[in-house]
Amino acid sequence: MSDRKKRKYNDDYRIFNEKWSISYFFIEINRKAVCLVCRETVSVFKEFNIKRHYETKHEAMLYSV
């Protein structure tokens, strides 16, 4: 078997995107994404994780507009 190296990501690429505040009601506090609706945190700054939280936990808000 070959020894595979794990892929490493530089933390500089994981920055909070300001559009997430408007689209998904998240803000950055102490290097964590915090939901303004329920105050839960998402530790990794990835749009997929933030969008998934918004769509699963706050589904009613999606269709109320």
Q: What is the pLDDT of residues 12-56, one digit of tens each?
A: 567 889 999 999 999 999 989 999 999 999 988 899 999 999 999
Reported as a pLDDT band with limits 50, 70 and 90, residue 64 is low
- pLDDT of res. 28: 94
pTM across the whole model: 0.72
Residue numbers of the domain that contains 18: 12-61
Residue 40 has φ and ψ, to the nearest 5°, of -80, 155
**Cβ neighbours of residue 32 closer than 8 Å, sequence gap 6 or more:** 41, 42, 43
SS3 of the chain: CCCCCCCCCCHHHCCCCCHHHHHHCEEEECCEEEECCCCCEECCCCHHHHHHHHHHHCHHHHHHC
Is there a domain that residue 3 lies in? no
Is there a domain that residue 5 lies in? no
Number of independent structural domains in the chain:
1
Is there a domain that residue 6 lies in? no
Is there a domain that residue 20 lies in? yes
